[in-house]
Amino acid sequence: MRTAIVTGGASGIGRAVCRELGGRGVHVVVADLDGAGAERVAGEIGGSGVRLDVTDARAVEDLVTGVRDDRGRLDFVFNNAGIAVGGTAEELTLDHWNRTIDVNLRGVVHGVHAAYPVMIRQGFGHIVNTASLAGLVPTPMMAPYAATKHAVVGLSLALRTEAAAHGVKVSVVCPGFVDTPLLDHVNPGLPRTRTGTSARRSAIRAQGRLYSADALAGDIMRGLARDRALIVVPASGRLAWLGARLSPSLAVRVASLAVRRLGRDRRSGDSS
């Protein structure tokens, strides 16, 4: 039976991916900092649940080697765990930056570093890293998040060019705004910022731009079946990506308009 590890699998995109994989007959190891949540999802799909802190390189390596030894193979590793950090650059502390880098970038590095040698030795496997549309287009008020997601895209594409020689596949997922609990937990355990609160979720929802995690999971599976390097969804996300590639300066100007609009809204709120 094919085997997958999904980090951040207790909720949101990770949970949807776990369910999709389970429905396709894959044994899923659901890994999450929320160990109880991981076990709940695993129970729903007949998989295994484990508590995992992706910032702990040794713990990630122990999980990967343990799954390989127990199951005899490792077909997929979804480096999906991440946090949302928002706020204008002047509001952010080094704690915001360091925590984002630790989870969103080093967490992916740890997963790759542990899984890639295993997949090279077995001659197959697919590493799937979750980035974001924020890793492809200008994304103001989320500088640490955008920086790490750009890094994950670069890491994934660089690794893909090397991995093909070993029979290993690498893809990176770049969704637009997805309807997940992540949007309700901006800056978890970090100082709050005026522009990084869950009010952002309400604004996005009002514009009808949130994409369902279940739809995304289906799109991811189709992308993997076609061995896509970049899985950019939904269509509005692909359009934004195309615009940024065709005219980076225009994409920056459009993002700047959003910043100015937010500034006007904040001043209006202060005066009311």
CATH number of residue 240's parent domain: 3.40.50.720
Q: How confident is the model at residue 198 (pLDDT cuts 50, 70, 90)?
A: very low
- Tell me the pLDDT of the chain averaged across its residues: 90
pLDDT surpasses 70 at 197: no
Say if 190 falls within a structural domain.
yes
Say if 79 falls within a structural domain.
yes
Residues assigned a catalytic role = 145
Stated pTM of the model = 0.90
Q: Which of 246, 214, 252 is nearest to 233 (CA)?
A: 214
Average pLDDT over residues 204-210: 55
- Contact (Cβ atoms closer than 8 angstroms) between residue 225 and residue 117: no
Q: How many CA atoms are closer than 13 Å to the CA of 103, on its beta-carbon side?
A: 22
Domain that holds residue 159: 3-246
Measure the CA–CA gap between 119 and 269, rounded to whole angstroms.
Answer: 54
Say if 253 falls within a structural domain.
no
Q: How confident is the model at residue 271 (pLDDT cuts 50, 70, 90)?
A: very low
Alpha carbon distances (Å) from 79 to 54, 59, 90, 235, 263? 9, 14, 30, 23, 35
Count of structural domains within the chain: 1
Beta strands 27-32 and 48-51: pairing type? parallel
Would you call 208 helix, strand, or coil by DSSP?
A: coil
Average pLDDT over residues 63-73: 98
Taking residue 226's Cβ as centre, other Cβ atoms within 10 Å add up to: 9
